[in-house]
Structure 1
Amino acid sequence: MKKSITLLLLVALCLVNYRLLDTIDQDPFLITDYSRLHPVKVERVVDGKEQEQLIHLLKEARDKNLTVSIAGQRHSQGGHTYYKDGIVVDMTHFNKIVSFDPAAKVIRVQAGATWKDIQDKVNPYGLSVKTMQSQNIFTVGGSISINAHGRDIRNGSLIKSVESFRLLTSKGEIKQVSRTENADLFPLVLGGYGLFGIILDVTLTLTEDEIYRMTSEAMTVDEYSNYFLSQVKSNPDIHMHYARISVAPDHFLTDMYAINYTVDKTVPLIEHNTLKATEDLVIPTKLLFHLNRSFDWGKNMFWNLQQKFFQVQQNNVISRNNAMRSETEFMEYRGIGKNDLLQEYFIPVDQFADFVHRLKTILPQENLKLLNITVRYVNQDEEATLSYAREDMFALVCLFNVSLEEQGQSSFKKGIQRIIDEVIRHRGTYYLPYAAYPSLEQFQAVYPRYKEFFVKKDQYDPEHLFMNYFYEQYKGE
């Protein structure tokens, strides 16, 4: 009876945390992003709706010596989408499907369109996107600005599926950008965090929708790299893959399970290609994840339930489009004075186990509260100027519960910088869309083409019309 009452109270606490407390510690006159770390006053937020409107807006900003920042869903966590006293352009209303050629497997969309918008459009034609994040809520413009990656292990990071885009520059000019036209801008804007202009629309290449059979396998951290190379990457029928490492005290950074999506051509696509409208069991799963956040026994229980869930799903079939509409809403969290923040590390395949062992030592020493690690595979891709995949790598997506208070932030930053030192020692990199805990020196070590990037920024935007806190933090002298 007492345990039931405790669980009911925790349910109520979850509902309060997620629905009521997310704004209590925020000044409503300030703007911030998902991190809630650096709220500032901006001149105004403008909904981007028409091309001519955006051209006039840039002229006004130049005339008034104002900066411009570009925002989509604002899930980046390092001040990439706003700047003090500047104009924030909200591109989420600039979201039309411009053209679609099913035969050529090409679609052109305005930058504010979401991956859901694309999926809804192409699914009836048996087509799918090649690469996107694990959620379909993000805008296309935002995704290519961070050069996103996902569960697909065959198509590389997002830059590989971008054919071209149109860019509104600081001079008010519209440039068509591709690998052959204004080609210098292509690797700068892809993964350029909105510093070179406003992306108006994007032309993407598509792939076939298909049926996958899901399987899961348990293993240890020490076994994972060999397992991936010998059984996953070497199997051309496995098109998507991810894994999770246990953060439960009973199996802390030791046990793993992997999920594979293997093509099954015996199952007709039409039987399974109805798109799921909403996530299932969000509230109960939020409760379980809150227990994972709050108690060691909750972490053990959550890990055990995850493994049982995927055992139940063994050999289930799912379409590619539905597999790319993954369920992570249950992880969203807003607590007073606290937040769940991401950091992401890219580690060469042969360095994976050794890096995780070092991470296992650092986390308790630095009192870092790790809630989840998802592992994805990223093919080598050095096309973007600020490329994070200099060789084939595993991406370790780490979710931390973090205090937003000054002392807690200082302590967390110290711990993250210590992790980044290990990343560098293991030939790794880290992802730039998240909070700017890495030092300037660490950024420069991990992204050796930083000088080229910032020189080109000065060349294309000499007055620094486009501005954000990523630039301010890492431009250096």
Structure 2
Amino acid sequence: MKKFSQKFKTGVSVAAVVVALVGVYGFRKLQALAADPTGEKDCGPAVGRAEQGKIDLERIKAIAPLPGVKWSQLGGSINDASCLDKTEIYGVVEVHSVDDIARTLAFARDNKLSVTAAGVRHSMGGQAFRKGGIVLDMRGFNRIVLNENTRSVTVQPGATWHDIQNVLHPRFAVRAMQSTDIFSVGGSISVNAHGMDHQAGALAKSIKSMRVMLADGSLRNVSSTENKDLFNLVVGGYGLFGVIVEAELDIADNLVYQTGRRVMDYREFPALFANEIEKDPNIGLMYGHLSTAPSTFLKEMLLYTYTKVDGTDFKRAPLDEPSGTKLRRLTVNLSKQGPLFQELKWLSEKHVEHRMEACTVTRAQAIGSAEACLVSRNDPMHDSVLYLRNSLPDDTDILHEYFIPRREFASFVDGMRKVLTDNKTNLLNASVRIVHQEDNFLTYSPEPAFSLVLYINQTTDEEGNRRMKKATEELIDLTIAHKGRFFLPYQLYYSRDQLQRSYPQINDFFAAKRKYDPSELFTNTFYQKYAS
């Protein structure tokens, strides 16, 4: 009865919020803000990229077709999740086998073309393609094999974490992945992604081994013990050293967690993490959200924790998408409209959203309706964030990420608040996560750090890009001043000097790339801009 009462109260709270919003903003506008997307968003020609010119389609047609390989596109353009990087390409090959990759690489070598591998293309600076190049669409190369005896899963690079979780659930769970499940394994390895598990570290630490096809078509087995140098270059190497054709990953038990949350001052977080969370092995997952409301901007922090519960008498519900997609989308899109709605969004996160989360684990024998909310390890990461996709024209949302030494956290947040306020940046979300020292070659974390993930709204016109560029440059300078590093899978607004200062090993990285790929077969827009 108590759970029904809580749900009823939640429903009343949500309904009250919606009614208030209708009165303030108008029903038709709210419908547009909550509407499902109708397809891929087209932001038009990429601003500031007129120098790309036109691809010679006649030359493409004149080259003999590649036998046994399916082209899903010849000529035309491609884009990434930012919708700001529309780029004309030679074509897209659908990959379904290792032979498809080998044939395409041979074709590219013979015709002096470049190649990139792409998954769901959520990097936001052209890291998955370049002008005039061939794109390997890896999404159909996605077999998943569970190895129960070795407690691992063997996957092809196009598999998404969503699909992997569906194979592992209910007994097993992913050890390391992002906080959402939309990404492909190949893409995640190529950026050395990290997520909610503050104990597991980034993805590199859960990779048992990989098979990689090099530019000459040969296959190499790589791991932390075999061909270690190449392993450390491929992990976080942005696809510049070869094509991942298979990876074996460690998996974890699908433990049961009790959810927890608290509101705190952001300055309290480093000590709380060091003295409490880091020392408690039972806290399996955690992350923080900083306030985006003007009244408490980047000062209040919501800390979410998932604490292990002992016992075996639990029933795990099937994995499902979070409910309330339209309401969540409406809340996010309203927060783009001004201070009032930014305040309402933060109030919603503090007082409403957690009441909408499903408690997916129950005891085989119920012990009372007042029992704490329990979830399995898979549940909080099984979120395809459908509410972030929208049909709003001339509008896009951009990710940034900054890795800050833990001692510098509060000072960096203070500086970030000033940069974002001065630039009138429309910050939708600011997450805090944990990263350890990472030993891959192009590491973003040479020492333990806090990761700050920013989700920013901008218009897609020249003014929107100008403002984003300015804010990005200032945030990177701030990061460097705090001895941190910025994440490279995002927009290419930084200068070569900023790249060099943040990543002192970048020239050695490019030199290693030319050693393994002297003809520079594997390339992308990032490499094209900064390695020349």
TM-score, normalised relative to structure 2 = 0.85
Cα distance in 2 between the residues matched to 1:293 and 1:198: 39
State the match for 1:406 in structure 2: 462
Asked if residue 121 in structure 1 is aligned to residue 160 in structure 2, the reply is no
Q: Which amino acid aligns with 1:233?
A: E
Q: CA deviation at 1:391?
A: 1.6
Against the structure 1 CA distance between its residues 178 and 462, is the aligned structure 2 distance closer, same or farther, given a 3 Å change threshold? Answer: same
> After the TM superposition, which of the residue ranges 148-157 and 22-31 deviates more from structure 2?
22-31
Q: CA deviation at 1:332?
A: 2.8
**Contact 2:406 2:450 (C-alpha < 8 Å) held by counterparts:** yes
State the match for 1:302 in structure 2: 345
Q: CA deviation at 1:251?
A: 1.1
Q: CA deviation at 1:20?
A: 6.5
Q: CA deviation at 1:7?
A: 4.5
Q: Which amino acid aligns with 2:436?
A: N
2:403 corresponds to which of 337, 342, 346: 346
- Which residues in structure 2 correspond to 1:334-413 (within 5 Å)? 335-381=392-438, 383-413=439-469
- Which residues in structure 2 correspond to 1:53-132 (within 5 Å)? 53-97=100-144, 99-124=145-170, 126-132=171-177
State the match for 1:463 in structure 2: 519
Q: What are the superposed Cα offsets for residues 158-178 of structure 1, whole Å, 9 maximum, x if unpaired?
A: 000001111111101111111
Against the structure 1 CA distance between its residues 335 and 474, is the aligned structure 2 distance closer, same or farther, given a 3 Å change threshold? Answer: farther
Q: What are the superposed Cα offsets for residues 252-293 of structure 1, whole Å, 9 maximum, x if unpaired?
A: 111111000000013634x12x33222211011101111111
**Contact 2:127 2:526 (C-alpha < 8 Å) held by counterparts:** yes
Against the structure 1 CA distance between its residues 300 and 180, is the aligned structure 2 distance closer, same or farther, given a 3 Å change threshold? Answer: same
**Contact 2:43 2:83 (C-alpha < 8 Å) held by counterparts:** no
Q: Which amino acid aligns with 2:257?
A: Y
Q: CA deviation at 1:17?
A: 7.7
Q: Aligned with 2:169: secondary structure?
A: helix
Q: Aligned with 1:339: secondary structure?
A: strand
Q: CA deviation at 1:309?
A: 3.1
Q: CA deviation at 1:119?
A: 1.5
Larger radius of gyration: 2
Q: Aligned with 1:18: secondary structure?
A: coil
Matched residues, number: 471
Q: Which amino acid aligns with 1:468?
A: N
Asked if residue 193 in structure 1 is aligned to residue 251 in structure 2, the reply is no
Structure 2 residue runs without a partner (length 5+): 1-18, 47-74, 360-371
State the match for 1:280 in structure 2: 323
**Contact 1:164 1:204 (C-alpha < 8 Å) held by counterparts:** yes
> After the TM superposition, which of the residue ranges 407-416 and 393-402 deviates more from structure 2?
407-416
State the match for 1:23 in structure 2: 42
Q: CA deviation at 1:15?
A: 4.5
Q: Which amino acid aligns with 1:12?
A: Q
Q: Aligned with 1:341: secondary structure?
A: strand
Structure 1 residue runs without a partner (length 5+): none
Q: What are the superposed Cα offsets for residues 11-63 of structure 1, whole Å, 9 maximum, x if unpaired?
A: 32225583378226369942111112221211111110111121111111110
**Contact 2:105 2:217 (C-alpha < 8 Å) held by counterparts:** yes
Percent identity reads 34
Q: What are the superposed Cα offsets for residues 198-254 of structure 1, whole Å, 9 maximum, x if unpaired?
A: 110101111111000011011011111112222211211101100100010121111
Cα distance in 1 between the residues matched to 2:307 and 2:35: 40
State the match for 2:29 in structure 1: 10
1:208 corresponds to which of 237, 240, 253: 253
- Which residues in structure 2 correspond to 1:26-45 (within 5 Å)? 29-45=76-92
Q: CA deviation at 1:333?
A: 4.1
Against the structure 1 CA distance between its residues 3 and 458, is the aligned structure 2 distance closer, same or farther, given a 3 Å change threshold? Answer: closer
Cα distance in 2 between the residues matched to 1:56 and 1:445: 39
**Contact 1:275 1:321 (C-alpha < 8 Å) held by counterparts:** no
Against the structure 1 CA distance between its residues 33 and 83, is the aligned structure 2 distance closer, same or farther, given a 3 Å change threshold? Answer: same
Cα distance in 1 between the residues matched to 2:238 and 2:41: 26
State the match for 1:232 in structure 2: 277
Against the structure 1 CA distance between its residues 468 and 10, is the aligned structure 2 distance closer, same or farther, given a 3 Å change threshold? Answer: same
